[in-house]
A = this chain, B = another copy of it.
Amino acid sequence: MSLKNKNLVSTQDWKKEELDQVLDLAIKLKKKPFNKNLANKTLFMVFFNPSLRTRSSFETAMNQSGGHAVNLAIGQGMWKLEHQEGTVMNGECAEHIKDAAKVLSRYGNAIGVRCFPELKNWKKEKNDSIIKGFAKHASTPVINMESTLYHPCQALADIMTVKEHLGKTKKKKFVLAWCYHPKALPTAVPNSAALIASRYGMDTTIACPKEFELDPSIIKSVKENCKLNGSKMEIVNDMDKALKGADIVYAKSWGSINYYGNWDEEKILRNKLKDWKITKQKMQLTNNAKFMHCLPVRRNVVVDDAVIDSKNSLVYDEAENRLHVQKALLNSIMR
């Protein structure tokens, strides 16, 4: 089916068959990486935040398809963008997202947007108004390169990697394991990981301390995904218990939604949880699980070198698959 002009804000917005179609194409492109399908086409990448993999893999994906990516970094050679509609713009923003989206739509053929949360006000930020604003106003397809709530390209690379290494996803045990990290990180990656694993019929376990449960709206969707696909969903506040029988250990740290914006207070709590780390001992509790992480990762804080550098680690395949799924996505929605 044609995916032309579709936005990708969250994998949840797409039908399973549409996601499958992108993943199938990604596998083909992994074997035959170069084409001229996107000749004369331009992808604008609007980065409100830093990037290594996303920037490098999107830019390379465009080039390997004969097209071109333009890297626009907000606040570095670009002013701030207003995203509230109807507002009187007498503050620090010099341009409205509406105008930026409409103008870029005149120049190019797709817009990627990376817009992390400000980590101040969850209720407000969970509206994800920047990515939604671009999706609303652009006349080209818009790709979420990680917003407050979602990181769908990471999720596609993750599930592609799981399929490659486990053969199938149904009834395999996927453990999303919260880990200690010195900073309170956003929840887009764990949200998207749990959503895609459950969408593909994996038994989805979220291992995290009680205060670090993900937003209820995400959990609701994960549960629905599991129900639709005949798999199980559980939240376990004990890492050792959670890891038992795991086929995939997907490590990730994130900040507590309950303490959102009160990070000093959250830190006191977080600092007591330094043993939430993936070690060789933890991995021995699993079903010879594969280790996954989206990167960047703080080695020997989130995960020990002995695990991430082991044979069971999929982190580089996972990172590489970003290139392939994004190229498949661009080849699907841009023409």
Binding site for B on A (CB under 8 A): 33-34, 40, 42, 44, 47, 50-53, 55-57, 59-60, 63-64, 68, 70-73, 76-79, 82, 86-90, 94-96, 99-100, 102-104, 106-108, 182, 295-301, 305, 315-316, 319-320, 323
Contact = CB atoms under 8 A, between A and B. Distances in A.
A50 B63 contact: no
B60 A107 contact: yes
Contacts of A88: 299-301
Contacts of A55: 70, 72, 77-78
Contacts of A94: 296, 298
**Copies of this protein chain in the complex:** 3
Contact of A89 (B47, B59, B72, B300): B300
22 contacts: A34-B40, A42-B60, A42-B64, A47-B77, A51-B77, A51-B78, A52-B72, A56-B70, A56-B72, A56-B104, A56-B107, A56-B108, A60-B107, A73-B77, A88-B299, A89-B301, A95-B296, A99-B295, A99-B299, A103-B319, A106-B319, A107-B323
A56 B69 CA distance: 10
Nearest to A185: B94
A149 to B, nearest CB: 21
Nearest to A57: B107
Contacts of A78: 50-52, 55
Contacts of A182: 90
A70 B86 CA distance: 36
Contacts of A40: 33-34, 63-64
